[in-house]
Each structure stands twice: as C-alpha cells, then as structure tokens.
Amino acid sequence: MSKIDNKLKLLACFALLLSQAVFAGGDDPETGFRVFPFLQQVKTNSVGITFETHNSDSATIKVSLNSNMSGYIAHSAPTGKIRKMTLSGLSTNTRYYYTVTSDGETSPVGSFVTALPKGSRLPFRFAVYGDTREAAWYEDIVASYGDNDDHLPVCQSMASKAPEFVLHVGDLGRDGTDMDDVINFFDVEKGLLRNHPIVPTYGNHEFSGGSGTGNTYFDSYLMSSGNSGDFAYYSYNYGNVHILVINTGKYIDNDDSYDLLLPGTAQYEFIQTDLQNAAADSDIDHIFVSLHVPVHSASSWGDNPTLVNHLRPLFEQNGVKAVFEGHDHDYQHLEKNGIHYILSGGGGSPILQIGSPSSDATIHKYEDVLNYVIVDVNGSSLVLEAYKVQGQGNSSSSLLERIVF
C-alpha cells in the first residue's frame, strides 16, 4: 500500500466522524475509563466505538493504518461520560488501529478490519458465544462454582483465533439493571471487544434478573440496529453471509413472552420478509439465525414448541444453514430437517450437569463445558469448529468437533 493510499484512507475517515455524548453527569472522584473502548457494528465503511469515562472530559480518538500508530489522524469527541461513536468514511476490508485518550487515560491500541462488501466471496471468520454472566453469584448455591474466572479465559481463547467479529447469543450478564454487573461484563470483555466487534443478541438476563424491565446494555452501551427501535431484532450482512438476530424476550418460561414473535407480530413479519429476501439474494451464500432461547435443545430448556411451530418452518423454507442458540449453559450440536442447531451457552455462566439429553432433533454432540464456536467462511465453503475452554483461569482450549457443511 502506498503512502498516498494510506493518506487518502485516513483523510476519508477524518471527514466523517460522527459521535454522540449519551450522558453527562456530575464529577466522579475516580478518573479514567469506566468502560474501555469496545467495537460494534463493523460495516464496510464504518465501525462503532463506545467507551465511558468517570468524568465528562473531552476525548481524542487517534486512528492509524499502522500498529505503532504512526501517521495517525486525531478526532475530537464531545464531552460526556458514555460516548457512542461511529467512525465513518473508512475503506472497505482494511485494518485500522486506534486509541482513545480521555479523563487522563489512554486506552491500549485496538484494531479492527472493516467488513467485506455484500457479495464478496473472500474468506473470513467469526466467533459465536453466549451466556457470559459470571458464575460467582452461584457460589452459595453450588459449592463447585467458587471461581469467577471462567468468562475471561473464554474471551482470551476466542481472541487468539482472530475472528473478524463475535456473535453473542445473549445473556451478557446476570442483571441488566445492576451497574456493577454491567461494568463487570465490559471489564472482562475489554481485551476481546477492543479488537473484535460484537454482534449482540437479546437474552433474558439483559433485563433485571431475567424478569424485570431494565435494559442497560442495549439502552446505554450498544447501538441501535436501525430496525424497530433499540435493538429489538435486526439482520447483519458480512460478505456473502446474512445473519438474522431474533429477540426471544425476557419471560423465558411464560408462553406470553413469545407474543413478540408469533405470526402477525411486527417481529414475525420482519423475520419472514428478511429471510425471504436473503434467500432470493444472489450475493448471499449462507444464512444464519441467532436467538437466545433455543428452538431445539437437548438440555434443561428442551425443545420450544412455539419456536418449533412458528419459526422453524420459516428457517426451513428459506435455506437457513445453522441456528445459533444459547440459554442452556453447555455445547450442543443438533440437526433437524437439514438445519444445524448450534447451542453455545458456555461463555462463563455456571455449567450445569443434566441427566440424559433428549430432543426431537438428532443429537450429534452434547457437552457440559465452557465453549465457543469459530465459523470459517470461504466462498461456498463453510467450516464450523467448536472449542472447549478449560476455565478456572486457564484459557487453553481443545477441539470439541469440526463440522464441514
């Protein structure tokens, strides 16, 4: 890449920095970052960066094409505490480096690659994980869960696989209205999300204790999808892949919760139209679905009749390759009518042993372990690898299974 090319790429992003100060409260005796910069919504020409400082100081974002930050261009952000910013005007499929300085602290250098354009058949990989709430609160109930260090090793192992983005299938934390819990999530994830943008899915625990009305993660830190308000549901394109993210709601054991995705609802109509459009799109080779409550599970939550009866037909009619699920804290690979149901709910939440697994779907793999999944896309080729993570402070991993589609 020539120096002129580099300069043009940086000048382009310099022209279109958009930012939003979300909250500017009073002074805080602490200084520096409360939430270190993390990435989301990576697109062909932009990326979202969010951070929070203890005080409403000015912030400077430096962007460079070089890992040593040489030749950087600096951007100013408005004052505030939580800053949700979109860095626009970037070049497609290009690696950028960045730091943020505010409130007397400079973040470590992070980096990201802007997305492949829709229809590109160039190779890329993404990761899938979920249910990352900490296990520590469980100590009083289950004596064997005495450590609070399973979530971090999963993040560290995922980062070592260098995915272009990470798809989270929901239940980021334990309680979406508990600020300590929310801040803890971003603290544990800061090393991962500094370099790997998150594509989040609504889990029941993003609400208060799984049954309240709060939604701090999505209201305050994660960006609106642009579809139907704040992150209710959306879809995301990256190269030749289409990912539909569904919101299964907060009352996971109450049939009424599924009102928000029954036929005739806005979300059902969105799902139907979105999948039909993706299936008819010659740029799209692979359609995936992400949702928190599983359609099929051989574990505690079991097969969900509402999802089986109303959503599964849409998946089957429109050529969905795989459905990524969470909610149960384990790893599962099930298959029904040609669709793979990959449940990856082992991101740090307490792993619970169950009795004999059972499901109406074919059970290819079932493991009560910390885990995540790596998906490698290379044109029409699709390879999925599931990894078990040791945990208890140990980020070593081993292959659970390899699926070649």
* Contact footprint for Fe ion (CB under 5 A): 171, 203-204, 327
What residues contact residue 22 under an 8 Å CB cut-off, 6+ apart?
A: 80, 81, 82, 83, 84, 220
Of the two residues 114 and 177, which places its CB atom closer to Fe ion in the complex?
Answer: 177
Half-sphere exposure of residue 385: CA atoms within 13 angstroms, side-chain side: 13
Of residues 28, 27, 105, 50, the one with CA closest to residue 224: 50
Minimum CB–partner distance for residue 204 and Fe ion (Å): 5
Q: Which residues pair with 342 in a beta bridge?
A: 324, 333
- State the pairing for strand pair 241-245/286-290: parallel
Minimum CB–partner distance for residue 220 and Fe ion (Å): 20
CB atoms within 10 A of CB 210: 18
Q: Are 296 and 341 in contact (CB under 8 A)?
A: yes
Of the two residues 237 and 248, which places its CB atom closer to Fe ion in the complex?
Answer: 248
Minimum CB–partner distance for residue 291 and Fe ion (Å): 11
**Distance, CA of 84 to CA of 62 (rounded, Å):** 16
Of the two residues 150 and 171, which places its CB atom closer to Fe ion in the complex?
Answer: 171
Give the nearest residue (CB) to Fe ion. Answer: 327
Of the two residues 297 and 395, which places its CB atom closer to Fe ion in the complex?
Answer: 297
Of the two residues 55 and 177, which places its CB atom closer to Fe ion in the complex?
Answer: 177
**Distance, CA of 392 to CA of 320 (rounded, Å):** 36
Of the two residues 103 and 171, which places its CB atom closer to Fe ion in the complex?
Answer: 171
Minimum CB–partner distance for residue 402 and Fe ion (Å): 27
Of the two residues 204 and 235, which places its CB atom closer to Fe ion in the complex?
Answer: 204
What residues contact residue 77 under an 8 Å CB cut-off, 6+ apart?
A: 19, 21, 58, 59, 60, 61, 83, 85, 102
Phi, psi of 217 (to 5 degrees): -55, -50
Minimum CB–partner distance for residue 167 and Fe ion (Å): 16
Minimum CB–partner distance for residue 345 and Fe ion (Å): 8
Q: Which residues pair with 245 in a beta bridge?
A: 234, 290
Minimum CB–partner distance for residue 218 and Fe ion (Å): 15
Within 208-352, strands assigned E span: 234-238, 241-245, 286-290, 320-325, 331-336, 339-344
Q: Is the dihedral of CA 337, 198, 221, 389 positive or negative?
A: positive
Minimum CB–partner distance for residue 169 and Fe ion (Å): 9
Minimum CB–partner distance for residue 209 and Fe ion (Å): 11
- State the pairing for strand pair 381-391/371-378: antiparallel
Of the two residues 204 and 237, which places its CB atom closer to Fe ion in the complex?
Answer: 204
Of the two residues 286 and 292, which places its CB atom closer to Fe ion in the complex?
Answer: 292
